[in-house]
Structure 1
């Protein structure tokens, strides 16, 4: 068993001899979401490293940090490859539901496309609190998980040929766009994501280079920490508290072990 395979299993709490199959992939996705936070601290603290297999292992599995989509989904893709899945990486654009438009600074979202028994699915472990937690079929079928309802529809946009729609539990009354992605533009090398990392780190419209953000799925909902607030969703009830610098540092360690 490779170092990546063994360390990933350790990080999310499954045994080395546990078989990873399509049938238990939902469980693996949920364990991953609850174990590895979505966070931008390397961007904020200017600790950026080149996107390589070795650097991803060091950051996410040895130092036990979190990461953004291009890190989290790249690592999960490598883990799935190690366990015999037919997967590929794809790029897309996250929809701005406040401005009601797609940002124009590039296809900076990274996601995973899986093929199993001649059917195609979307997987995502790098979409903050919006994770489907299950494979989402390209057929348009609605998938329901502990985090809400999700579906993938074929729709031509300037940013791809498919769209992920989401309706989060306790949060969304109606369907909303998560992101558009291109199913045919296969990413052949993780080094392509250095371009994404550069945009995320430097572009003035990037939402991830302004303030620290840490988000993680929990058994009861999710939790999100910034340098000014800590928000928790617990069984549909939201609590939000203001935090100062000292409290922020305490919560980073207490809730996210970073």
Structure 2
């Protein structure tokens, strides 16, 4: 079976007969964020595959793995398309706050845009622990969720015509840049995502080809696992545990089901 709609609903916990309205997308995004981890294990373990509908369905919805933005937002794109929406995939450039510069891998962030009642919205389930958990209008209006506050503003930038700003509940007092994106240049074919994946796998400045990273939104915050630490944000309180390989494998299985 290669029915994204049915398998997606089974994976994230949405009834098969539930009508997916625009108003229900908040719930879809929250369920997805709390079920499917943002993770790079297939890259670290050197088992990436071509980005196709069949391969994404198998990995994310049948084998119950997670993925990166170009996988997570593409499976969401397919789900939304099968439920009567007309989303578009576009590319963006994330901002690195440690180095205070745009990502060296270029426009390798993949996200969804969709129109509702004449308004264009950003819909992103592939931004790790920074997920808005709601559609964000491209009007500059601030949207608040359990993860923080988010807004998208028009920008005259070499990296695109809009910028996502965020103020995360657990750590931010001021607004900061999430990423810039190009709303005009749409991804026309899923095969373009293989170039994105290649850059993430091969580029020396890629944040995802050096060590494992797994993160997921939870009911009370966020959890993040690397090869050396396990970080939990619970009700805005930080708990960080230094770990070894044995503990990594335990947490990977117990907390992320991977």
Hey, what's the Cα distance between the residues in 2 that align with 1:116 and 1:2? 28
Deviations 1:119-158 (A, max 9, x none): 0100100000000000000000000000000000000111
Kindly indicate whether the alpha-carbon contact (under 8 Å) linking 1:167 and 1:175 is maintained by their aligned counterparts in 2.
yes
Instruction: Report the RMSD for the aligned CA atoms in angstroms.
Output: 1.0
Deviations 1:47-75 (A, max 9, x none): 01000000000000010000000000000
In the alignment, what sits opposite 2:20? 20
Consecutive unaligned residues of structure 1, counting only runs of 5 or more, are none
Hey, what's the Cα distance between the residues in 2 that align with 1:224 and 1:36? 13
Deviations 1:98-134 (A, max 9, x none): 2111123321000000101100100100000000000
TM-score scaled by length of structure 2? 0.99
Kindly indicate whether the alpha-carbon contact (under 8 Å) linking 1:92 and 1:109 is maintained by their aligned counterparts in 2.
yes
TM-score scaled by length of structure 1? 0.99
Hey, what's the Cα distance between the residues in 1 that align with 2:92 and 2:169? 24
In the alignment, what sits opposite 2:83? 83
Hey, what's the Cα distance between the residues in 2 that align with 1:218 and 1:228? 21
In the alignment, what sits opposite 1:93? 93
Report deviation, 1:2. 6.5
1:111 aligns with 2:125: no
Q: Secondary structure at the match of 2:152?
A: strand
In the alignment, what sits opposite 1:124? 124
Deviations 1:16-49 (A, max 9, x none): 0000000111011000000100000000000010
The count of aligned residue pairs is: 258
Hey, what's the Cα distance between the residues in 1 that align with 2:225 and 2:86? 35
Kindly indicate whether the alpha-carbon contact (under 8 Å) linking 2:2 and 2:57 is maintained by their aligned counterparts in 1.
no
Report deviation, 1:190. 1.0
1:244 aligns with 2:254: no
Consecutive unaligned residues of structure 2, counting only runs of 5 or more, are none
In the alignment, what sits opposite 1:6? 6
Hey, what's the Cα distance between the residues in 1 that align with 2:215 and 2:104? 24
